[in-house]
Structure 1
């Protein structure tokens, strides 16, 4: 049960042979995520935003701010990879970032608006990548993992769907779609 709450859509499953259609589908997910997230969370109260999606998990508010932080880091990783030769990217302690004051208390509108602008710019970049660009690699310091940009597009499409599902599943389980008088 805990695994299903942690990974409501499962772990990322990136195919070995990534097609142009895969890339297009993933970019569309990234493109639509901010507006879909805004629609999903528009009815939520502060009390609901401060509800954790699972025991010992983050609140909805923290999840939304985490998406902004994580996606900004990913965008920068794309830029490094496109301008450097196999850069070793900077990892960060996402759980510590989620505990910071802004992630635990700031209005979600700050991150929603930020995600809209960031994703618009990111998607513009992604749509212009060549096959050569998509095959460029960055090195993640945790495990010295080599990651192709094409794979990372899939990982971040998954990341969008993953956190959307955390929030959506909580809303469904709490029956928050139904407005109480």
Structure 2
């Protein structure tokens, strides 16, 4: 029963090449995420934000702060891959980051503001990219593989929906 709570939109799965239409859909998902998140969060009170969406899961507050940090890392990985040849990126311990006071005590409005500005810049960058740019790669040492930017874009489209799904588990009861 925890699987639908853990993965409300299913696990990330992609294969093969990405079409221009798929890329555009993924960019639209990145563009819309901050507004959709803000809408869902507006239904919640502080008690809701400190509620876990599943047993053993993060609180909604932690999820929202995680999105800001994770998406910043992804944006930087795009910039690195667009300006360097297959750069090695630095992984981070998101589970440990989620235990910090900034995750546990800060208002979610701060991370939503970060996401609004970050996603505006990210979309501008994505819309300016050529098809060949989406084939550029970075090396992820934790995964021990090269990751193409089109695949990373697809993953973050999913990431937006995945965590929005976690928020909706609680907000839909309001």
Q: Smaller-chain TM-score range?
A: over 0.9
Question: Which residue number in structure 2 is paired with residue 60 of structure 1?
Answer: 60
The separation in 1 between residues aligned to 2:147 and 2:121, in whole angstroms, is: 21
Matching of residues 1-181 of structure 1 within 5 Å: 1-172=1-172, 175-176=173-174
**Partner SS for 1:132:** helix
Per-residue deviation, residues 74-114 of structure 1 (Å, max 9, x unmatched):
00000110111111110000011111001111001001111
For 1:31 and 1:151, how far apart are their aligned partners in 2?
17
TM-score (norm 2): 0.97
Distance 1:159 1:145 in 2: 20
Q: CA RMSD in A?
A: 0.9
Higher relative contact order (CA 8 A, sep 6+): 2
TM-score, normalised to structure 1, is: 0.93
Query: For 1:122, what is the secondary structure of its paired residue?
Result: helix
The Cα shift of 1:170 comes to: 2.5
Cα deviation 1:127-174 (Å, max 9, x = unaligned): 1111221100111111312110011110000000000001102223xx
Q: Which runs of 5+ in 2 are unaligned?
A: none
User: Which stretch of structure 1 is more off in the superposition, 8-17 or 156-165?
Assistant: 8-17
Comparing 131-140 and 116-125, the one that deviates more:
131-140
Report the alpha carbon displacement of residue 49 of structure 1 after superposing the two structures with TM: 0.5
Q: Deviations over 1:2-54 (max 9, x none)?
A: 22211111111223120000000000000000011001111211111000001
> How many residues in Structure 1 have an aligned counterpart in Structure 2?
174
Q: Partner of 2:143: helix, strand, or coil? A: helix
